Amino acid sequence: MKPPAPAIAGRLLVVDDEPGLVLALLDILREHGYDAIGASTPADALERLRTGRFDVMLTDVRLPEMDGVALLRAALEIDPELIGIMMTGHAAVDTAVDAMKAGAVDYVLKPFKLKSVLSVLDRALAVRRLRQENEALQRHLQKRTQELEAANNELEAFSYSVSHDLRSPLRTIEGFTEALIGELDGGSRETIEDYAGRIRRAVARMGALIDDLLRMAMATRGELVHRPVDLAEQAREIMAKLQAQSPERTLELEIAGPLVVTGDGGLLRLALENLLGNAWKYTAKTAATRIGLSGRMEEGDTIIAVRDNGVGFDMAEAGQLFVPFHRLRSARDFEGTGVGLATVQRIVQRHGGRIWAESEPGKGATFFFRIPGKSGQSAGVEFP
C-alpha cells in the first residue's frame, strides 16, 4: 500500500539557468512536500507568475536577459504578495543584500545545504502567512471602523429624530389629558369624548413609532441567515393580506416569478412588507391600484423593482427618502411614521446592496434594490 502523499507545504517557483541544478532542487523540494516548478529564464518565470499563483520565488542572482534583482521587481509588480528568495554564490552576497533591499526576504548560498534551504523556506512561508493575516486584519479593522463611523453618524441623527418624533405624541397626550381633566366638572360629553379620542390616537401613534423602531433595530442586529428566498412568493403572500384588509379596493397585481435571491428570508420579507405596504398606501386614492414586482440580472447581481401608480414624489426630495422619521410632502396626507424606508435601506445594505428610487408627482414611484451575487432566476415586468 502506498504511503499517503505529504501535505503541500507551499507552491514554489525556482528560477535558474542551470537545468541540472533546477531539476535536483525541484526533486528535493517535492520530497519535502513542496509543489515546486522550475523556470530557466526570467521571461519564462514571469509568464508562469502571470498564469499561476506562487507563494515563494527562489531566483538566482545572475540570469540571462535580466538579473535576479530586476526579475524580483518585475515579479512583485505581477504579485505583490509573492515572497522572494535570492540564490547566490559567496562572491555575489553583496548583490543578494541589494536584492533584499528591493523586496527579497532572504537568500541562500550555493552550493546548497539542504538544512539551510529548508530553514529559509520555512521562514519565508511564515513571513507570507503573517503578511496575509495582517492584511486580513487590516481589511477587517477598516471595515469595522467604517461601520462604526456610519453607526455613530446614524445614532446622532437617529437620536435627534427620536427625541423630536416621540415628544410630539407625548405633548398631545399631556395637553389633552389636562384639558380632559378640566372638562370633567361640567364639561360636555361630546368634548370629553373628543379629547379622549385625541389621546387614544396619540397613544396609538407612539405605539406605532415604537413598533417601527423595534423593526428597524431588528434590521441592523443579529447574524444574517443566508438561504434561497423567492421574493415573488413572499410578495404574493404580503399583497393577499393587504387586499384582505381592504377588499373594496381594486388591485391589479403583476409579479414576475420566481425571483430567487440568496439572503436572510426574514429580513428580506420585512423589506418587501415595507415597500409593498408603501405602494398599497400611496395608491389608496387611485381608481385602480397597480403594483408590480420584477427583477433582472446585471453583472451577476439581482436588481428587484417595486412599482406603483400612486401619488409619487418630487425627485428633488429623493435624498430624504431613507432618513428615519422624515416624510415627504406628498406623504403627509397618509398615515405613517417615516421609518419604513429607513428600515429597508438597512436591510439591503446588510446584504451588501443598495436601494434607490425613481418617481414623478402623480405618476407613481419605482423602488429598486440590488442584491449582490448570482442569486437565481429573474424576469421582467413592464407597465404598458
Look at residues 94, 112, 130 and tell me which one is the last residue of a structural domain: 112
Instruction: Provide the strand spans (E) within the chain.
Output: 10-15, 34-39, 56-60, 83-88, 104-109, 226-230, 251-255, 260-264, 289-298, 301-308, 354-359, 365-371
Task: Give the pLDDT score at 13.
Answer: 92
Widest Cα–Cα separation across the chain: 114
Domain assignment of residue 87, yes or no:
yes
- What are 308's three cell numbers? 406603483
Q: Residue 91 is part of a domain; what is its CATH number? A: 3.40.50.2300
pLDDT digits (tens, 9 = 90+) for 14-34: 999 888 888 988 988 898 889
pLDDT digits (tens, 9 = 90+) for 221-278: 667 888 999 999 999 999 999 998 888 999 999 998 779 999 988 889 888 988 999 8
Domain assignment of residue 185, yes or no:
no
Q: Residue 187 pLDDT more than 60? A: yes
Identify the CA nearest to 36 among candidates 20, 13, 54. Answer: 13
Identify the CA nearest to 344 among candidates 218, 209, 164. Answer: 218
Please state the rounded mean pLDDT for residues 130-150: 85
Backbone torsions φ then ψ of 263, nearest 5 degrees: 180, -170
Which of 64-78, 223-237, 363-377 is predicted least confidently?
363-377
Interstrand relation of 56-60 and 10-15 (parallel, antiparallel or unpaired) = parallel
381: left (phi over 0), alpha (psi -120 to 50) or beta: beta
Q: Residue 286 is part of a domain; what is its CATH number? A: 3.30.565.10
User: For residues 202 and 169, is the Cβ–Cβ distance under 8 A?
Assistant: yes
User: For residues 341 and 276, is the Cβ–Cβ distance under 8 A?
Assistant: no
Whether the ω angle into residue 42 lies within 30 degrees of 0, i.e. cis, is no
Task: Give the pLDDT score at 224.
Answer: 80
User: pTM value?
Assistant: 0.52
Name every residue whose Cβ is closer than 8 Å to that of residue 317 and which is 6 or more positions away in sequence.
Answer: 328, 329
Q: Residue 181 pLDDT more than 70? A: yes
Identify the CA nearest to 75 among candidates 118, 109, 105, 95. Answer: 105
User: For residues 59 and 21, is the Cβ–Cβ distance under 8 A?
Assistant: no
Domain assignment of residue 193, yes or no:
no
Rounded to a whole number of angstroms, the distance between the first and last alpha carbons of the chain is: 72
Look at residues 112, 140, 162 and tell me which one is the last residue of a structural domain: 112
Q: Residue 93 pLDDT more than 80? A: no
Task: Give the pLDDT score at 168.
Answer: 67
pLDDT digits (tens, 9 = 90+) for 305-349: 999 999 888 888 877 787 766 665 555 565 655 677 888 888 898
Domain assignment of residue 288, yes or no:
yes
Q: Which domain holds residue 231?
A: 227-384
Say how many domains are in the chain. Answer: 2
Look at residues 95, 112, 129 and tell me which one is the last residue of a structural domain: 112
Query: What is the DSSP annotation of 194-234?
Result: HHHHHHHHHHHHHHHHHHHHHHHHHHHSS---EEEEEHHHH
Whether the ω angle into residue 258 lies within 30 degrees of 0, i.e. cis, is yes
Across the chain, how many H-helices and E-strands are there? 9, 12
Residues constituting the chain:
384
Task: Give the pLDDT score at 18.
Answer: 87
Query: CA-to-CA distance for 190 and 197, rounded, in angstroms?
Result: 11
Task: Give the pLDDT score at 1.
Answer: 42
Domain assignment of residue 55, yes or no:
yes
Please report, to the nearest 10 degrees, the dihedral formed by the alpha carbons of residues 148, 345, 358, 252 taken in order: 180
Quote the percentage of the chain above a pLDDT of 90: 25
Average pLDDT, the chain: 81
Domain assignment of residue 187, yes or no:
no
Higher-confidence residue of 297 and 210: namely: 297
Please state the rounded mean pLDDT for residues 163-191: 74
Q: Residue 379 pLDDT more than 60? A: no
Domain assignment of residue 300, yes or no:
yes
Q: Residue 5 pLDDT more than 60? A: no
Other beta carbons within 10 angstroms of residue 327's beta carbon come to 17
Which of 31-45, 174-188, 353-367 is predicted least confidently?
174-188
Query: CA-to-CA distance for 216 and 344, rounded, in angstroms?
Result: 8
Query: CA-to-CA distance for 221 and 361, rounded, in angstroms?
Result: 35
- What are 290's three cell numbers? 397597480
Q: Residue 68 pLDDT more than 70? A: yes
Domain assignment of residue 20, yes or no:
yes
At 86, the amino acid letter reads M
At 169, the amino acid letter reads P
Higher-confidence residue of 35 and 157: namely: 35
User: For residues 260 and 228, is the Cβ–Cβ distance under 8 A?
Assistant: yes
